Amino acid sequence: MLRSLLLAFLAFGSLTAAEPKKLNVLFIAVDDLRPEINASGSQVIRTPNLDRIAARGTTFDRAYCQQAVCSPSRTSLMTGRRPDATRVWDLETHFRKALPEAVTVAQFFKEQGYHSQGMGKIYHGGFDDAPSWSVPWTTPKAPAYASPEALKLQASNVDAKGRSRGPAFEAADVPDDTYTDGKVARLAAATLTMLKQKGQPFFLAVGMAKPHLPFVAPKKYWDLYDPAKIYVPAYQKLPAGAPAFVGHNNSELGSYAGMPKRGAIDEATARQLRHGYYAAISYMDAQVGLLLDALDKEGLADSTVVILWGDHGWQLGEHGLWHKHTNFELAARAPLLISVPGQKAPGRKSLSLVEFIDIYPTLADVCGLPKPKDVEGVSLKPLLDDPTAHVRPVAISQYPRSDAGASLMGYSIRDDRWRLTLWRNRADNSIHATELYDEVNDPHETANVAKQPEHAEVIARLSKYLPPPIAAAPVGKTDNGPKTAAPTNAGTRDRGTMFTGRDTNQDGKLTKEEFMLRQRDPAQAAQNFVKFDKDKNGEISKEEFVKMGQ
């Protein structure tokens, strides 16, 4: 009898050894977070909870998004596909239009037996993806502002998309759970308790809205900083020799009450904005701390992969620019922290080049799951054990623009020293303009050196990594790409697509310059601009463009 029990115990032990418990995943997305965190070397910012993740894992200090704006970046990260595959280059297209059978990273984990759940901003607003989740995605409701004054300004200031925009920052003396991130973090912490009781491996995606504009955070986070010590950019104009179209007019910031509608920001306002950005980061960091505390409390920390990423970088006046929407280093580079239980080299930085499309295959790899199909990224698992290893020779980002009537796609190719940006004409695939920056000797990107003969070899070498031309849209579908396989009949042209094609900085409104792109009759077009601009604010909203052109 004793021998039989012993054999049964050994058999059970070998079975459990063969089938180890799956690791959980806590997947934290942060909106508009540039690498302004302690783990990336910032001497002023206070992010003790992000530092906790870094101490347990790896800080990827050269991580690059695929396109520096919310929806394209998040779509590529979630699908493991570049924007030219997802055909998401704007804030108005869902990836399932081009890739209806795509399996997102959250969906992949669900299909592997995980409970997949999302809350907060994971996909861009209004573009949730139901197949990704085991239960419906949710976000608690919260006011954008706390003070009566800010709420009054919000009600009276409506932007071109019909959205109410209050002030660009607020420092109200209120509890953390007044705002969305505080509510999301508390919901996520409670969900972790529920998931521990459930006993099923989980993929929990939690999205933080800050530090995205407006920079609202409880006053105690503003009080962490001395405004006099906050970073001021060393270089605040476009690089010498750079084409003018590579910048933008700061119109996202300009849509907020009290901000200049476009153009330069005065120094006093700029300091307040940077102060607010820092405060919003520390507020977000405190909410992440609640999640880490919940993992510790529930005994889940040793069985959970923690990943935190910012969807793209952010410019705080560098090159005279605010927000993202460019191919410059500060827009394309974003934080990436990954902590895996049992990794061999915790607490270290990796300077290896990585891309956000690498996140999907990495999570599958470290969790011992099959290699996902149809993803363009590579696993970063080797870097978790050896941060000095290399997994790719370059990192590639991209951003659309228009210039002189030409629709362009700028592909930015980054190696250890150089950033080469090639602006391809989407009509004939010719190279319209070239930028080259020496990121080692000119880290502020003050000069485009593409025309200097001594750098011809660098341009030739990096040009070999230029992605292929964008393929035509699938038959029967149209999008904002350069071509469509099934042109529409005369009189029924998709004016929404036309609007998106002219909206070069993707801010949801057309300046006169944007409106005049590719107009066959400039004189008539100029008259139409005045007619379409119903509120006479010098810009045309999408609604105005669509309605007035019918």
Over residues 150-185, the pLDDT tens digits come to 999 999 988 777 788 999 999 999 999 999 999 999
**412's torsion region: left (phi>0), alpha (psi -120 to 50) or beta?**
beta
CA distance between the termini of the chain: 87
The answer, yes or no, to whether residue 340 has pLDDT greater than 60, is yes
Which one-letter DSSP state was computed for residue 544? H
Element (H, E) at 500: helix 495-502
Give yes or no: 70 in active site: yes
As a three-state string, the secondary structure of 232-281 is: CCCCCCCCECCCHHHCCCCHHHHCCECCCCCCCCCHHHHHHHHHHHHHHH
- The CA-based angle 305-309-313, given to 5 degrees, is 165
Please report, for the domain that includes residue 430, its CATH number: 3.30.1120.10
Q: Is residue 299 part of a domain?
A: yes
* H or E element that contains 401: strand 395-403
H helix runs in 2-69, sequence order = 2-18, 48-56
Distance between alpha carbon 94 and the CA centroid of its chain, in Å? 15
Q: Both 112 and 258 in a single domain? A: yes
57 and 151 assigned to the same domain: yes
Paired tokens of 395:
């990192």
What pLDDT, on the 0 to 100 scale, is given for residue 46? 95
Binning pLDDT at 50, 70 and 90, where does residue 365 land? very high
pLDDT tens digits, 53-111: 999 999 999 999 999 999 999 999 999 999 999 999 999 999 999 999 999 999 999 99
pLDDT of residue 17: 47
Closest CA to 245 of 517, 13, 526: 517
pLDDT at position 308 = 98
Lowest mean pLDDT across 123-127, 303-307, 412-416, 433-437? 123-127
Q: Are 341 and 445 found together in one domain?
A: no
Residue 510 lies in a domain: yes
Residue keyed to tokens 């330069």: 264
Q: Are residues 188 and 100 in the same domain?
A: yes
C-alpha distance from residue 124 to each of 72, 75, 117, 213, 235 (Å): 9, 8, 16, 14, 31
The amino acid at 209: A
188 and 82, same domain (yes or no): yes
More confident residue, 270 or 509: 270
Domain hosting residue 296, numbered range: 24-385
Q: 480 in a domain, yes or no? A: no
Q: 214 pLDDT exceeds 60?
A: yes
The chain-wide mean pLDDT, for the chain, equals: 89
Q: What is the count of structural domains for the chain?
A: 3
Catalytic residue among 65, 70, 212, 367: 70
- Mean predicted confidence (pLDDT) in 395-415: 97
CATH number, domain containing residue 92: 3.40.720.10
Which position has the token pair 């009189």? 491
Final residue in a domain of this structure, among 442, 463, 484: 463
The CA distance from 272 to 322, in Å, is 13
* CA gap 354, 392 in Å, rounded: 7
> Are residues 169 and 120 part of one domain?
yes
Percent of the chain surpassing pLDDT 70? 86
Whole-prediction pTM: 0.85
pLDDT digits (tens, 9 = 90+) for 235-278: 999 999 999 999 999 999 999 999 998 878 999 999 999 999 99
- The Cα–Cα gap between 534 and 172 comes to 36
pLDDT at 484 exceeding the cut of 60: no
202 and 294 in a single domain? The answer is yes
Partners of residue 204 on adjacent β-strands = 26, 117
Residue predicted with more confidence, 504 or 34 = 34
Answer with the one of 411, 439, 463 that is the final residue of a domain.
Answer: 463
Q: Give the pLDDT confidence score for residue 519 in this predicted structure.
A: 58
Q: Are residues 361 and 426 in the same domain?
A: no
Residue 264: exposure state from Cβ atoms within 10 A (0-12, 13-18, ≥19): middle
Q: What is the CATH number of the domain that holds 503?
A: 1.10.238.10
Q: Is 367 a catalytic residue?
A: no
Q: DSSP label at 468? A: P
Q: Helix, strand or coil for residue 434? A: strand
In a domain, 5, yes or no: no
- Is the model's pLDDT at 204 over the cut of 50? yes
Q: Are residues 197 and 293 in the same domain?
A: yes
Give SS3 for 403: strand
Among residues 340, 356, 385, which one ends one of the domains? Answer: 385
More confident residue, 225 or 493: 225
CB 63 within 8 A of CB 354: yes
CA distances from 376 to 33, 59, 78, 372, 463 (A): 24, 22, 12, 10, 19
Q: Tell me: do 185 and 218 sit in the same domain.
A: yes
Q: Which of 65, 94, 115, 124 is catalytic?
A: 124
